Every structure is written in C-alpha cells, then in structure tokens.
Chain A
C-alpha cells in the first residue's frame, strides 16, 4: 500500500512538468506580440525594446522555457498580469477558493440528488418512477449547461426574484450557479447508479443476504449500494473535469469572481500570463484532487487492496526462499 502511495505521489512530478510544458507551448503559438498589448502597438521602438528585454522575450525559447519552469516551481511565480501589473499568483489565490467551492458543492449536491434517484430506478425497474427519473437524467445530460443557467436566471431571478442574477453574496447567490454546474452530473450519476445497481442486484451475495433473512432495505443499501457506488468513484475524474469546466462558464454567466471569469476576461484582454496562470492552477489542483481520489479509492476498494497484499506476500515468500 505504501509503495502505491509513494508511486502515485512521485507521478505528480512529471504531471506538473507536463502541464507547464503544454501551457508554455500554448503561449508560444499565440500570435501577436505581448509587448504590443503592454505598451500599445504604436509605442516608440526603444520603449518596446526595453519592455522586451525586461520580460526576457529576447532569450531563445529553451532559456525562456527553463526560466518559466524554475520560476513556477521554486517561487510559485506565474508572472505579472498585463492589465493590472499585479502578480498573477496573488490574484488567482483570491479567486481560487470560490471556484473550488462552486465545483465541489455542485458535485456534492448532484450526488445527493442523483444517487437516490438511480437507486429507486434500479429497484423499481420499468415503473413510472424509473421512467420519470431516467427521462430527467437524459434531459440533464442533454441540456446545454450555459443555457440551463440562462433559463434558470430568467425564471428564478428575473421573473420570480428568488435568487440574485449575479454575484454570490449570501447563500442565495450560490443556488443558481451550483445548479447550473450540477445539472449534467445529476443525469450522469443517476444513470451510472441505476445501471451498476442493476448489475449488482443480480450478484450471488445479494441473494445470500436475502436468503439469510436480512431486511430488504439493508440488502439494497448496505450490500447493494456500497458495491454499486464503485463505478461512480471511478468516474469522479471525468466528473471533476466537467465540473471545473462548467464552473468556468457559470462564473461568466453569473458574474462570479472566480478563476474561470478571471481567465476568460484575460483571454479577451490578450492578457496571456493570467490565462496561463489560471490553466496551470486549475490543472494542478485537478491533478491533486485526482491523486486524493485515487488514494481514497485504493483505501476503499477491497480488490485493489488485496491485490497489493497478494503481491507483497508473493514477494516476501520469494525473498524467504532466496534467503
């Protein structure tokens, strides 16, 4: 187990370097001169040249790449924003908790709604409640998130005035963005829960539990659901990626001051260091959450655990023989 954890931790090093490399390449292929954005296209050449020297743009590509990596890794320095001239890392750190909170809340709410939905669907298969919840789930995965956001904004903030249309001051402001990001996940989770639960119900251990006279709801929840949830945990990376992407769009729709809105504003202002910084931050936090999920997964899935134990046993036996 320890070996797995160490291996998984070490794997983060190439991942982070790879992310930095991708983001650097993206900034290299961007057309247009950043100096033009900074000092204006019609600034005198001396000023431009001075700026270029200051930013280190005259160095060859590999020197700039090395500098970039060293700066990010050792000093967490993502450069300065072209528009505000503040360190990007500092600006991001103010906004990051908001984006993270939005993403995690939306996943949590989606889980709370969709797992019972999928469970009931599987248990009462082909009943009206199954049909209804699967129809809802299908709409959930088919509706464009941003349009759902716009429509809920129209209904609940323009017409009914229940929730504010922009900003997240107070709890009410969180409702619509969280719903918008979560809508697709509700559909996904409900469908996954249903199909994996249907598979689990046919297993022998469910029949055993029933045969020994266990109460039906304990059979379903404790013996059934616990095993049926494994595909959901396995799918969490996908979901997290979609939710982070959704958060980026939700933030622009509901004017939430998070990393996503910051990045999109920066794209429009051709403020590349901020875009780059946002990408790096989101990708690295995504990988870190994935790491935690993997470790959690290893801890809860008895099959993976036993695999490692079995391997160790074989190894120790082999060592004993060699000795």
Chain B
C-alpha cells in the first residue's frame, strides 16, 4: 500500500529541511563571519574598502575632470566650490586625480600581495610539507634574502629594473616574498600534524592533493589575516617609493607620486599635500581595521 503524503507530513519534512539547513550553516567559517560583522570597527573598515572599490570602478563618472587636464590659468587654486580639493601647480583638479588614484593604489597593492603570497606560498608550503633538509635549505635562503630590509630591497630592485608599474610590482612582491613564505610555512606547520592529514595520506592522496585540498584550506585563517595586513603594507610601500621617485612616475595620479610632485609647495600651497596623504591613510586604516577584525574573528581566544 502506498503511503499517503499528508500535509502534516509535508510540514514535518519542511521543518527537517530547515533544521538541516541550519545545522549546515554553522560551519567555523560562518561562525567567524558572524563574529566579524559584530565587530563595528571591522565593519567600518569593510565599508570604507567597498566605497573605495566603488570609487575606483566608477571613477570616470565621479571625477569632474581628467587625470592630466592642465589648465594653466587655474594654477594653485585653494579648495573652492569648483575645485573642492583645489588645483595643483599645473592647474589640474586635485579631486579628480585623487579619485582616479583609487584605480592605482588598491589594485597595485593587491596584485603585489597576491604575487608575494603565490611565490612565498610555493616556497613556504614546499618547505613545511617536506620538512627536514628541504625546509632547512629553503628557509636559510629566505634568511639571506631577508638580511636586506624589504624596503631597501624593493628600492634596489626598482632602481635596477627602472621605472614602470610592472617593475614596481615585481620589486615589491619579490622583496616581500621571504616574509610571506614564513607566514605560510608557519600556518601549514600548525595543521600538518592533524589526524585528517594523516587519514588523507592513508587513503593515498598525492602530496599535491594533501597540500591543496587538506592543508591549505585549514591553514587559511592566519594566511587571510596576514594577507590583509600585507595589502596595507604594499600600498604604503608603493606610495613611499613613488614619493622618492621610484616605480610610478608623474603624471600618473598615484597618491605618493602626487605628494612627490607637490613637495616643493609646502610653504606656498600646503593644501596640495593634504588630500593624497589622507587618502593613503584612510585606505591603509581601513585595511588594518578589517585585518584586526579578521584576526579576532578567526582566532577569538586572542582578543
């Protein structure tokens, strides 16, 4: 006899499905996310970052003027209704250049960090996975590279490769690779001894599968936190290097480069120096807030 499917049974099924969904929803990742969005400062950082990204995407709609539109009769005007951040020594609207600047600092900082984590990730995870001699050799080589302070290393590489965005990205990502490889190595070492890795090995997972499928996802927490802070550092490095004339050169509206070309105006028109610096600070601050929140959310016992 076929079972009758009554409305009451359907109700129970629905409840079951709901419960099932709820049970699945409380994964560690979701818990961390809940903690993260309860953290007001982290949310503030996230909102600022989203706004900056939107500004970067819609820069051509927001900016009233172009990047390099030189109107000489408008030189060095203090902030006014027409130019809310004033104009620089070439009569360019500073606000427009600031807006377009979001298209430079954020992506470059992000790409530099991705590359550094990719190079460092390969080296660090190979070292941590194999241990022993391989680990020793890789980490000693990293030690040698780290005996040149990262900013000096980046300056050295950028100076020898010459200016240009690509060379700058290469300089910053290579100079930070050793430090990032350490982060990833440490993260993988902490999960390496877990039972699930042992079981993965026991069922015959290849070393690549063990690393990518089991170790990296479980070690992702500290890596994500370090990644956020590294983007902040990379943005600071890009702008400091642009300030001393390395990497990005005028007329690109990179914020550090804008500061570099107006540094002689310190006495004459100090307002040209306010906004690019404030923008760098806001961006880095947002990343730091978000990173702090991420760290606390992923590792609540530290708070």
Binds B, one of A12-20, A80-88, A226-234, A295-303: A12-20
Report the minimal beta-carbon distance from A287 to chain B, rounded to whole angstroms: 5
CA–CA, A244 and B245, complex, Å: 18
Binds A, one of B62-70, B122-130, B278-286: B278-286
Contacting A at CB under 8 A, from B111-165, are 140-141, 143-153, 155-157, 159-162
Task: Write out the residue numbers on chain B whose beta carbons fall within 8 Å of the beta carbon of A14.
Answer: 140, 144
A29 near B148: Cβ-Cβ < 8 Å: no
User: Chain A: interface secondary structure?
Assistant: helix
Binds A, one of B4-12, B31-39, B205-213, B263-271: B263-271
B156 near A245: Cβ-Cβ < 8 Å: no
- One of B162, B245, B280, B281 near A268 (C-beta < 8 A): B245
Task: Write out the residue numbers on chain A whose beta carbons fall within 8 Å of the beta carbon of B244.
Answer: 146, 248-249, 252, 264
CA–CA, A153 and B243, complex, Å: 16
CA–CA, A195 and B295, complex, Å: 12
Task: Write out the residue numbers on chain B whose beta carbons fall within 8 Å of the beta carbon of A154.
Answer: 266, 270, 273
A143-B281, A267-B246, A279-B156 known; A151 and B273 CB under 8 Å?
yes
A147 near B149: Cβ-Cβ < 8 Å: no
Cβ of B289 within 8 Å of any chain A Cβ, yes or no, is yes
Cβ of A57 within 8 Å of any chain B Cβ, yes or no, is no
Cβ of A235 within 8 Å of any chain B Cβ, yes or no, is no
Cβ of B250 within 8 Å of any chain A Cβ, yes or no, is no
B152 near A245: Cβ-Cβ < 8 Å: yes
- One of B141, B147, B256, B270 near A19 (C-beta < 8 A): B147
- One of B160, B270, B289 near A138 (C-beta < 8 A): B289
Binds A, one of B18-26, B92-100, B232-240: B232-240
Task: Write out the residue numbers on chain B whose beta carbons fall within 8 Å of the beta carbon of A147.
Answer: 259, 273, 276-277, 280-281
Cβ of B203 within 8 Å of any chain A Cβ, yes or no, is no
Contacting A at CB under 8 A, from B190-246, are 232, 236, 239-240, 243-246
Task: Write out the residue numbers on chain B whose beta carbons fall within 8 Å of the beta carbon of A286.
Answer: 147-149
A138-B289, A146-B243, A151-B277 known; A279 and B266 CB under 8 Å?
no
Task: Write out the residue numbers on chain B whose beta carbons fall within 8 Å of the beta carbon of A139.
Answer: 281, 285
Contact code string A1-38 (vs B, CB < 8 Å = 1, else 0): 00000000000001100110011001101110000000
User: Chain B: interface secondary structure?
Assistant: helix
CA–CA, A26 and B232, complex, Å: 26
Q: Quick one: closest B residue to A238, CB to CB?
A: B179
Q: Quick one: closest A residue to B158, CB to CB?
A: A267
Cβ of B288 within 8 Å of any chain A Cβ, yes or no, is yes
Task: Write out the residue numbers on chain A whose beta carbons fall within 8 Å of the beta carbon of B144.
Answer: 14-15, 18-19, 22
Task: Write out the residue numbers on chain B whose beta carbons fall within 8 Å of the beta carbon of A248.
Answer: 151-152, 155, 244
Q: Quick one: closest A residue to B266, CB to CB?
A: A154
Task: Write out the residue numbers on chain A whose beta carbons fall within 8 Å of the beta carbon of B256.
Answer: 144, 146
B285 near A22: Cβ-Cβ < 8 Å: no
CA–CA, A11 and B107, complex, Å: 39
Contact code string A96-125 (vs B, CB < 8 Å = 1, else 0): 000000000000000000000000000000
- One of A26, A138, A242 near B156 (C-beta < 8 A): A26
CA–CA, A249 and B259, complex, Å: 13
CA–CA, A311 and B181, complex, Å: 30
Report the minimal beta-carbon distance from B88 to chain A, rounded to whole angstroms: 15
Contact code string B51-81 (vs A, CB < 8 Å = 1, else 0): 0000000000000000000000000000000
Task: Write out the residue numbers on chain A whose beta carbons fall within 8 Å of the beta carbon of B160.
Answer: 26-27, 29-30, 272
Cβ of A263 within 8 Å of any chain B Cβ, yes or no, is yes
Report the minimal beta-carbon distance from A293 to chain B, rounded to whole angstroms: 13
Report the minimal beta-carbon distance from A316 to chain B, rounded to whole angstroms: 26
CA–CA, A144 and B273, complex, Å: 12
CA–CA, A146 and B273, complex, Å: 11
CA–CA, A151 and B272, complex, Å: 12
CA–CA, A195 and B232, complex, Å: 21
B157 near A26: Cβ-Cβ < 8 Å: yes
Report the minimal beta-carbon distance from A152 to chain B, rounded to whole angstroms: 11
Contacting B at CB under 8 A, from A138-189, are 138-139, 141-147, 150-151, 153-154, 158
CA–CA, A167 and B61, complex, Å: 45
Cβ of A72 within 8 Å of any chain B Cβ, yes or no, is no
Q: Quick one: closest B residue to A241, CB to CB?
A: B149
Report the minimal beta-carbon distance from B228 to chain A, rounded to whole angstroms: 13
Could you tell me which A residues sit within 8 Å of B by CB distance?
14-15, 18-19, 22-23, 26-27, 29-31, 138-139, 141-147, 150-151, 153-154, 158, 195, 237, 240-242, 244-246, 248-249, 252-253, 263-264, 267-268, 272, 275, 279, 282-283, 286-287, 290
Could you tell me which B residues sit within 8 Å of A by CB distance?
140-141, 143-153, 155-157, 159-162, 232, 236, 239-240, 243-246, 256, 259, 263, 266-267, 270, 273, 276-277, 280-281, 284-285, 288-289, 292, 302
Q: Add 5 more A-B contacts to A14-B144, A138-B289 (CB < 8 A).
A: A15-B143, A26-B160, A138-B288, A283-B147, A283-B149
List the 3 shortest-distance A-B pairs measured between CB atoms, nearest first: A245-B151, A241-B149, A18-B144
Q: List 11 A-B contacts (CB under 8 A).
A: A19-B144, A19-B147, A141-B284, A145-B240, A147-B273, A150-B273, A158-B267, A244-B151, A245-B151, A249-B243, A267-B246
